[in-house]
Chains A and B, each alone.
Chain A
Amino acid sequence: MSEENTKSVTTNLDSGDKLGETNQKSEPHHGKMISIWFFVGCLLAVYGMLILIAGLSDHGSGRDIAMAHLHAQIWWGVGLLLIGLGYVARFRPRK
């Protein structure tokens, strides 16, 4: 991971790592690597949207799903969308 990601990926466990500087050595010859969390965020956001849409259109169609009155799809869809967007915003590639 790049130096930038080292700082942003981690929580208080790891930030400001003295040894983190070693990361930079192999970066120059192939540019900065986009953080894995950015890709994760994109996928989750798209999934969240799809599940949310499916949940809204499926609403009340009476399919044979236990506990359908909880509308798990809608809650889950919104949750994934928010988590996904959060990751995308935080780890988007910056110039």
Chain B
Amino acid sequence: MPQTALVCLLTVNTRLMALSRTDLLIILLYFVLVLGLGVYLRRFATTSNEFFMAGREMTAWIAGLSFISANLGSLEMMGYAAATYQYGILVCHAYWIAAIPAILFLALVMLPFYYICKTHSVPGYLQLRYGEGARSLSAISFAVMTILMSGINMYSMAVIMKVILGWNIHFSIWVSSLTVAIYVMAGGLLSAIFNEVLQFMLIWLGCLVIPIVGLAETGGWTGLVHRIAERFPGQDFIHMWSTTGSFTGNPMGIHWTGIVFGWGLAISFGYWTTDFLVVQRVMAAKDLRSAQTGTIIGAFFKMMVPLIVILPGLLALAVLPYKLVPETMANVAGAHTYNEALPLMLARYCGPGLLGLGVTALIAGFMSGMAGNVSAFATVWTYDIYKPLLRKNAKDAHYLSMGRWCSLLGVIISIGTAYLVMNFSSIIVYAQVIFVFFIVPMFGTVLLGMLWKRTTPAAGFWGLLAGILTSGGLWLWVKLVPSALHYVAFSSNAKDMAENIYRAMWSLIANVLVTVIVSLFTKPKPLAELKGLVYGLTELPSQSGFPIFKRPLTWAIAVGVAFIALNIIFW
């Protein structure tokens, strides 16, 4: 998901919490276990397939938890808790409509094609379907963006550790990145996946304290709603849809069409179905049905994440004795910013020990996020850039060692990026905007490739490029001529988040139009070459041999029903 930026936390000098000896011991034990796991797993990563694809042996549960965990970063959690304090429960759309339909679509419609063609990566699928042009464009942009995001995450983590614990920034950057480098070099994707499962457990067990104790404090949901209304009269923080009938009726300045088509369709489908970082996890499942079931398990837990992110944000609105302020006002003596909402709530309810667990959960979130970025980078670099463009026919051992060294290289470039960001913090804002440029049009290109056999290689490349250029162009237009916002986002009231969402929508439209038009005027690939890649020419294994409760479709419907019910309850 596009992560909400946590910019300039540096302005705060005092730390939020003091750790006891038990807390430090808990954090230390986590590092010991992670390094030990890396050493242990090295013996299981002896071929390139094992290193890059974890041998394709993961069960549905492990693939699914790792899939959702690769997405659930600490930066995102703190960012969305902060956004909830600012915009209210509206932010929950990020976890529901902007995730669940797309994840279920990935599981039921797109995953079979990724899985059956045995590709190693999403750019790898583009190569099989469209050829080298589309692959190189997506591989290079993915590699650059992934490593950039990794550096940004690393820097943000160091800043947060400084703000909440008073730790030295350089210390945090070097200790965490060297740990990640060691365990990813040793075990590859397997290490990354193990750590994601560990992170998943830690994040849930570390953060669930907040909603449980918090709701006890407010006297349940009704008490919570009552307290918020008392403290912020006239503002609606607790409805997801009923305030989105106009651009001005809600704190975010967005219309429901933007939520559904921009957020729910363009950004979310782009991210969930084509971002290799998450798709790689389920590609590592042991068979197609496990991959699909795992993805659906992931969707279920994604739907539950608001419990530990959105609810703490709402609780902060209700119970914190002071009001949080925007980043720009952080210099006011003693004021806390929106971004500190989650750590503040953690410090509010957690005594010694529990606090250490919460902080470990946040550190684990950062480190496994970094490991995810680095292992995805190493895969795309080795398979989609190095192998086809630089060295075609080397031995397997050569690519394996390339993967190991690339993981180290990825960490080193990330550290460099972190220091770059330290000096030019506006990079964070730009990077997150630019990330959407690349990820959104990928969806149109991949989906048309999977479902329409007429789509031609040229259309794959030009459609992708058109989508990227459209969002880049629109972004530049608003940057240079601020009044253009009225045309891009339909409203001069649109906040940054709303603008991003509408820009994504235009990008997807341009991508689909160009892909379809170019396809109609160029020569398609012969059908024989599309076997196993396109709907109608691919044998999809039947699930009818399995009892109903073992079929992915059954569980997808269950998650879908719960998703609809939740939206109605919080309408």
A31–B30 alpha-carbon span in the complex (Å)? 26
| B329 at interface by CB-CB < 8 Å | no
A43–B206 alpha-carbon span in the complex (Å)? 13
The answer on a CB contact under 8 Å between A72 and B61 is no
Report the minimum CB–CB distance from A73 to chain B (whole Å): 5
The answer on a CB contact under 8 Å between A14 and B59 is yes
- CB-CB contacts of A36-75 with B at 8 A, as 1s and 0s? 1001101110110011111100100001011110101100
Taking CB atoms, residues of chain A closer than 8 Å to B249 are none
The answer on a CB contact under 8 Å between A19 and B59 is no
- CB-CB contacts of B336-362 with A at 8 A, as 1s and 0s? 000000000000111111101100000
Taking CB atoms, residues of chain B closer than 8 Å to A47 are 26, 29, 357
Taking CB atoms, residues of chain A closer than 8 Å to B356 are 50-51
The answer on a CB contact under 8 Å between B351 and A73 is yes
Known contacts A9-B59, A50-B25: A14-B290 contact under CB 8 Å:
yes
The answer on a CB contact under 8 Å between A72 and B62 is no
The answer on a CB contact under 8 Å between A23 and B57 is yes
| B396 at interface by CB-CB < 8 Å | no
| A94 at interface by CB-CB < 8 Å | no
Taking CB atoms, residues of chain B closer than 8 Å to A42 are 33
The answer on a CB contact under 8 Å between A13 and B293 is yes
Report the minimum CB–CB distance from B155 to chain A (whole Å): 28
The answer on a CB contact under 8 Å between A70 and B286 is no
Taking CB atoms, residues of chain A closer than 8 Å to B205 are 44, 76, 80, 83
Known contacts A54-B22, A72-B354: A66-B349 contact under CB 8 Å:
yes
A73–B549 alpha-carbon span in the complex (Å)? 38
| B55 at interface by CB-CB < 8 Å | yes
The answer on a CB contact under 8 Å between B348 and A51 is no
- CB-CB contacts of A3-27 with B at 8 A, as 1s and 0s? 0011001111110011110110010
Taking CB atoms, residues of chain A closer than 8 Å to B26 are 47, 50-51
Taking CB atoms, residues of chain A closer than 8 Å to B22 are 50-51, 53-54
Known contacts A51-B22, A51-B357: A1-B348 contact under CB 8 Å:
no
The answer on a CB contact under 8 Å between B550 and A54 is no
A77 to chain B: closest residue by CB? B353
| B46 at interface by CB-CB < 8 Å | yes
Which of B46, B198, B290, B354 makes the CB contact (< 8 A) with A76?
A: B354
The answer on a CB contact under 8 Å between B351 and A65 is yes
B47 to chain A: closest residue by CB? A26
Taking CB atoms, residues of chain A closer than 8 Å to B44 are 30, 33
Report the minimum CB–CB distance from B423 to chain A (whole Å): 37
A8 to chain B: closest residue by CB? B59
Report the minimum CB–CB distance from A21 to chain B (whole Å): 10
Taking CB atoms, residues of chain A closer than 8 Å to B201 are 40, 44
Taking CB atoms, residues of chain B closer than 8 Å to A33 are 44
A13–B356 alpha-carbon span in the complex (Å)? 34
Taking CB atoms, residues of chain A closer than 8 Å to B348 are 65-66
| B397 at interface by CB-CB < 8 Å | no
The answer on a CB contact under 8 Å between A39 and B290 is no
Report the minimum CB–CB distance from B192 to chain A (whole Å): 12
| B113 at interface by CB-CB < 8 Å | no
Taking CB atoms, residues of chain A closer than 8 Å to B57 are 1, 23, 26
Taking CB atoms, residues of chain B closer than 8 Å to A72 are 209, 212-213, 349-351, 354
A12–B348 alpha-carbon span in the complex (Å)? 39
The answer on a CB contact under 8 Å between A30 and B353 is no
Report the minimum CB–CB distance from A16 to chain B (whole Å): 9
The answer on a CB contact under 8 Å between A43 and B30 is yes
- CB-CB contacts of B136-160 with A at 8 A, as 1s and 0s? 0000000000000000000000000
- CB-CB contacts of A73-87 with B at 8 A, as 1s and 0s? 100110010010000
A22 to chain B: closest residue by CB? B286
Interface residue ranges of B305-357 to A (CB < 8 Å):
319, 348-354, 356-357
A23–B59 alpha-carbon span in the complex (Å)? 10
A73–B354 alpha-carbon span in the complex (Å)? 6
The answer on a CB contact under 8 Å between B289 and A19 is yes
Known contacts A36-B194, A47-B357: A67-B217 contact under CB 8 Å:
yes
The answer on a CB contact under 8 Å between A46 and B29 is yes
B29 to chain A: closest residue by CB? A46
The answer on a CB contact under 8 Å between B287 and A1 is no
| B391 at interface by CB-CB < 8 Å | no
The answer on a CB contact under 8 Å between B351 and A68 is yes
Known contacts A44-B201, A80-B205: A9-B62 contact under CB 8 Å:
yes
Taking CB atoms, residues of chain B closer than 8 Å to A77 are 353
Which of B46, B58, B194 makes the CB contact (< 8 A) with A30?
A: B46
Q: Which 10 A-B pairs have the closest CB atoms?
A: A54-B353, A51-B353, A19-B287, A54-B22, A54-B352, A30-B43, A73-B351, A66-B348, A67-B213, A36-B194
Known pairs A50-B22, A51-B353, A55-B354 / 11 extra A-B pairs, C-beta < 8 Å: A19-B286, A23-B57, A34-B40, A42-B33, A50-B356, A51-B22, A55-B353, A66-B349, A67-B216, A72-B349, A73-B352
Query: What are 26 residue pairs bridging A and B, where the CB atoms are less than 8 Å apart in the complex?
Result: A1-B58, A9-B62, A10-B59, A14-B290, A23-B57, A26-B55, A26-B57, A30-B43, A33-B44, A36-B198, A40-B197, A44-B201, A50-B25, A50-B353, A51-B26, A51-B353, A58-B352, A63-B351, A63-B352, A65-B351, A66-B217, A66-B319, A68-B351, A73-B354, A76-B205, A76-B354
